[in-house]
Amino acid sequence: MLSYLFDGTFEGLLTCIHEAYYRHETPDHIIWGDQLQENLLTCCAQIPTDNGKADKVLHSIRAKISADALEHAFHAYLSEINDIGVWIYRYLRLGWKVGPSVDRYLCEDEVSAVHEAGRKVEWESHKMLGLIRFRELEGGIFYAPIGPDHNIVSLVAPHFAERLSDQTWMIHDVKRDIAAVYNKTDWTIAVIRQKKALPLHGDELEFQRLWKQYFKSIAIRSRRNPGLQRQYMPSRYWRYLVEKN
């Protein structure tokens, strides 16, 4: 068995795809360090990220397949599902054979795997738009911790850059130690390894108390439906909801 190892970035994945294509190899796995499970039957090839090769693959996907195929591949990558790297490679390899019609080949395993992974990412990023709760820190920065199943912080950031364009804010994915940081002009992804509680603004606890009071006051006790609530607001997200603490 042949495994390609990369650094976990999308550029690193595209570099692996470039190497596999031009080496005429079909790796059994394309994975990053945290997913590696070593055994005696696996031959591992470390693939260093090469931005030049990644750009070639990027432009090739746009030119020879489609912009939609690139979006599908990127969203599938963000899912971080086991072995999604090799499914993306197989999907793109099929795309280079059949062109823009690749997404019509729904009976092909690689197409269905990439589409399914992408749908999970898109569903969660859409759901998270209504579940992100900002709290004001000392210094006037608005901070929102999240712990999504998938790596969606780059997908939700543009929404808040538009909606909260006059504020400085940070959306922190505490599971992955990354954050989207916005400075009233543009946003970027940064590595954040903050484990301690951050100091809140003096009025923040009072605003949280008012929000919890509002949350309770609008509830109709006779129409409580915990099952339906968990469907629209899954309990795995409650940890970072002010009204659920």
pLDDT digits (tens, 9 = 90+) for 93-125: 999 999 999 999 999 999 999 999 999 999 999
Last residue of a domain, one of 125, 157, 185: 125
Do 33 and 99 fall within a single domain? yes
- Write out the two tokens for 69: 């195929």
What domain count does the chain have? 2
DSSP 49-113: --HHHHHHHHHHIIIII-HHHHHHHHHHHHH--TTHHHHHHHHHHHHHHHGGGGGG-TTSHHHHH
Do 117 and 133 fall within a single domain? no
Last residue of a domain, one of 99, 125, 151: 125
Do 12 and 105 fall within a single domain? yes
Q: Which residues of 149-176 are buried (b: 16+ CB within 10 A; e: fewer)?
A: bbbbbbbbbeebbeeeeeebbbbbbbeb
Which pLDDT does position 36 carry in this prediction?
56
CA–CA gap between residue 85 and residue 175 (Å, rounded): 20
Do 98 and 159 fall within a single domain? no
Do 137 and 121 fall within a single domain? no
Do 233 and 195 fall within a single domain? yes
Q: What is the pTM of this model?
A: 0.89
Which pLDDT does position 44 carry in this prediction?
84
Last residue of a domain, one of 107, 125, 143: 125
Do 121 and 27 fall within a single domain? yes
Q: Are 178 and 153 in contact (CB under 8 A)?
A: yes
Question: What residue ranges of the chain have pLDDT lower than 50?
Answer: 40
Containing structural domain, residue 11 = 2-125
Which pLDDT does position 229 carry in this prediction?
82
Phi, psi at 10, each rounded to 5° = -65, -35
Which pLDDT does position 40 carry in this prediction?
45
Q: Are 105 and 94 in contact (CB under 8 A)?
A: yes
